[in-house]
Amino acid sequence: MTYYADLTPYTYDSDNWDPGAPGPRRGVAVLNAGWLDRGRSYPQGSPPPGLVETLKRMTRTHRAQQTRGFHLCPWCASRRSSRRPGRPEGSAEIRVIGRGVAYAAPELIAHYVEAHDYLPPAEFMEAVLSSEVAA
């Protein structure tokens, strides 16, 4: 997976969403969140209550940009050499609507928060927790 700094403009793939799917509309900026890489530091901390659970739900309700391949968690993958059931992997993105912007995050973002203490930007967490899927 490619690394992108948090809150930078999304440039990974063209935006070809189904207009009925959750996601940004024309003219809304799309920003990156959670595009981590093993060789780069990232903000760490305790997530607010409900963040991990909501991100996990969003991997079912807010999916976008499905790819044919898959990406393994760079930290867990370094400890194991092959693809196995139960190993964290992703093949899509999630999109979250915020205040005047949308965020694009890899499907593995919930795993990064839960297992590797990644603390996403406050604006992204606010958008996730104020979404219709938040508990």
pLDDT in tens, 9-31: 998 875 554 444 444 556 788 99
* Res. 42: pLDDT tops 60: yes
* Res. 85: pLDDT tops 70: no
Confidence at residue 121, expressed as pLDDT on a 0 to 100 scale:
98
* Res. 60: pLDDT tops 50: yes
What does the mean pLDDT of the chain come to?
83
Confidence at residue 19, expressed as pLDDT on a 0 to 100 scale:
45
> Are 97 and 126 contacting, i.e. CB atoms less than 8 angstroms apart?
no
pLDDT in tens, 97-115: 999 999 999 999 999 999 9
Confidence at residue 16, expressed as pLDDT on a 0 to 100 scale:
54
Tokens 């739900």 map to which residue?
A: 57
> Are 69 and 91 contacting, i.e. CB atoms less than 8 angstroms apart?
yes
How crowded is residue 67: how many other Cβ atoms within 10 Å of its Cβ? 12
Residues sharing a CB contact under 8 Å with residue 19, sequence separation 6 or more, in sequence order: none
Confidence at residue 79, expressed as pLDDT on a 0 to 100 scale:
56
> Residue 94 carries which DSSP code?
E
Confidence at residue 103, expressed as pLDDT on a 0 to 100 scale:
95
Q: In the chain, pLDDT over 70 holds for what percent of residues?
A: 77
For CA atoms 103, 28, 70, 57, give the dihedral sign: positive
The Cα 133–Cα 123 span in angstroms is 17
